[in-house]
Structure 1
Amino acid sequence: MKELQQDVDGYIRQFKEGYFSPLALLARLTEELGELAREVNHYYGEKKKKPSEPEKTVEEELGDLMFVVICMANRLHIDLDTALERVLAKFNTRDKNRWTRISDERKR
């Protein structure tokens, strides 16, 4: 993640405007999430794409979303490696017995 954050930072620093404000980034994140939801609905849901709609992919929309998440983290000086490690630690402690493990299923 550190390398990705550095890549995005290198891209953004080319421009005088720099990073958008956290509020503008949140609005952009919401917009990108809506576009991802639309694509997921087209491919996996009931609402199929119209022939006149441009081809986009879930992969493309996930990439857009990830770019904005990285911009938000960079703008707020958040190390995403650390943030993800903390989330994984939370799942591995608080939620460790919440789901049925595959290994538990095999024992039955």
Structure 2
Amino acid sequence: MRLQSEVDELVKALGGYWKPFEMLAALVEETGELADAMLAVEGVKGRGSKEALVEEIGDVLFALTCIANHYGVDLGEALKATIEKYRRRDLFR
């Protein structure tokens, strides 16, 4: 996946990847920020903007991409496998 390579180049230029559990902590933190942005957009918690939501989705994707790169996982292939899993499991519910 081309974007994975871009993330890899950027992270290496910035000094390299964090330790695995530090990357996990970053993903959890960014997921919490995404939850806050979603609550704001839905009007549950203040007011939010789609721009803020897009930014938080990007942050989650970046953190997840760092983890995938560390473990040598192709995100495109992982997503394809998951889509197929859902098709087999849930298509005829």
With the length of structure 2 as denominator, give the TM-score of the two structures. Answer: 0.89
Q: Which residue of 2 aligns with 1:84?
A: 79
The alpha-carbon deviation at position 45 of structure 1 amounts to 3.3
Higher relative contact order (CA 8 A, sep 6+): 1
Q: Which of 64, 89, 92 is residue 94 of structure 1 equivalent to?
A: 89
Whole-Å separation in 2 of the counterparts to 1:15 and 1:42: 32
Amino acid corresponding to residue 18 of structure 2 in structure 1: F
Deviating runs (4+, > 2 A) in structure 1?
A: none
| Higher share of residues assigned helix | 2
Whole-Å separation in 2 of the counterparts to 1:79 and 1:46: 36
Within 5 Å, give how 1:31-70 maps onto structure 2: 31-49=29-47, 57-70=52-65
Larger radius of gyration: 1
Amino acid corresponding to residue 24 of structure 1 in structure 2: E
Whole-Å separation in 1 of the counterparts to 2:27 and 2:75: 16
* Structure 2 unaligned regions, length at least 5: none
The alpha-carbon deviation at position 59 of structure 1 amounts to 0.4
> Per-residue CA shift, 1:49-79, capped at 9, x if unaligned?
4xxxxxx610010001100110110011111
The alpha-carbon deviation at position 46 of structure 1 amounts to 2.1
> Per-residue CA shift, 1:61-101, capped at 9, x if unaligned?
00011001101100111111111111011011111113xxx
Percent of residue pairs identical? 38
Whole-Å separation in 1 of the counterparts to 2:44 and 2:85: 35
With the length of structure 1 as denominator, give the TM-score of the two structures. Answer: 0.78
The alpha-carbon deviation at position 15 of structure 1 amounts to 2.8
Amino acid corresponding to residue 41 of structure 2 in structure 1: Y
